[in-house]
Amino acid sequence: MNHSHQDQHPADQYPNTQYAHDQYQPYPPAAAGAEAPAKKRRRWPWIAGIIVALLAGVGIGSSGEEEPEVVTETITEEVEVEVEVEPADLEGRREAITAAEEENDELGEELAQRTSDLDTREEELDQREESISTSETEIEENTIPGSGVYMVGEDIQPGTYRSEGDRCYWARLSGFSGTLGDILANDNVSGSAYVTIAPTDMAFETSRCGDWVRQ
């Protein structure tokens, strides 16, 4: 189908419409007899599109608000905790302690034995001292020591005595007057000598005879 192509001028598309004085008149009326200049294409749709795109971008930017920044604050608190840490050589130390305890036990047993022995010896010494003391007392009671005059019943006891002195003189006395009448018996002896002192004697005199020991 053939259609007659009419080259419509842009001016034909927009009829000459009268605008009010306050309305926008895009193009002034062409002068008579002059060739109408080529009209520029309107770019409003493109500009409007760009503006819409920008507004859309702003909207997207506004709608996609940034997430709030999270600030993490770290608080460090020092806490002292006592922790028992076993030393590396704990087993060796335990063995050493066990050995030391066994040694101490042995030493304790030895010490106890020594203490017991010392107690026994001390008892023996006490017995010896007692025996010696008794013997000394007996010897003292049964001995007339050296030269002198001794009262019977006070200084010496009655009985038979023996002496080993040299050039010995002795005398049994009935009194202390110093006269010959007080002499009950006397003798001069060289070597061993024996004399028996009676309970009725008052005293006994000895000279250079040494100790007289009761028999």
Highest mean pLDDT among 71-75, 106-110, 174-178, 198-202: 198-202
* 201 within 8 A of 184, measured Cβ to Cβ: yes
Length of the chain: 215
**Do the Cβ atoms of 183 and 176 come closer than 8 Å?**
no
Give the closest residue to 171 by CA, choosing from 141, 142, 150: 150
215 or 38, which is more confident: 215
Tell me: pLDDT of 199 over 50.
Answer: yes
- Least confident residue range of 8-22, 128-142, 151-165: 8-22
Q: What is the pTM of this model?
A: 0.44
Beta-carbon contacts of 209 under 8 Å, excluding residues fewer than 6 positions away, are 146, 147, 163, 165, 168, 169, 170, 189, 193
Of 23-27, 74-78, 175-179, the one with minimum mean pLDDT is 23-27
Q: pLDDT averaged over the chain?
A: 78
User: Which pairing describes strands 148-151 and 183-189: parallel, antiparallel, or unpaired?
Assistant: unpaired
User: How far is the C-alpha of 134 from the C-alpha of 141, rounded, in Å?
Assistant: 10
Say whether 152 sits in a helix, a strand or coil.
Answer: strand
> So what's the pLDDT on residue 72?
73
Three-class DSSP category at 143: strand
Q: Which two tokens stand for residue 128?
A: 């010896």
- Residue 39 banded pLDDT, cuts 50, 70, 90: low
Listed in sequence order, the residues at least 6 apart from 196 whose beta carbon sits closer than 8 Å to its beta carbon are 159, 160, 161
Distance (Å, whole) CA 15 – CA 20: 15
For tokens 């309107």, the residue is 42
Cβ atoms within 10 A of the Cβ of 88, count?
8
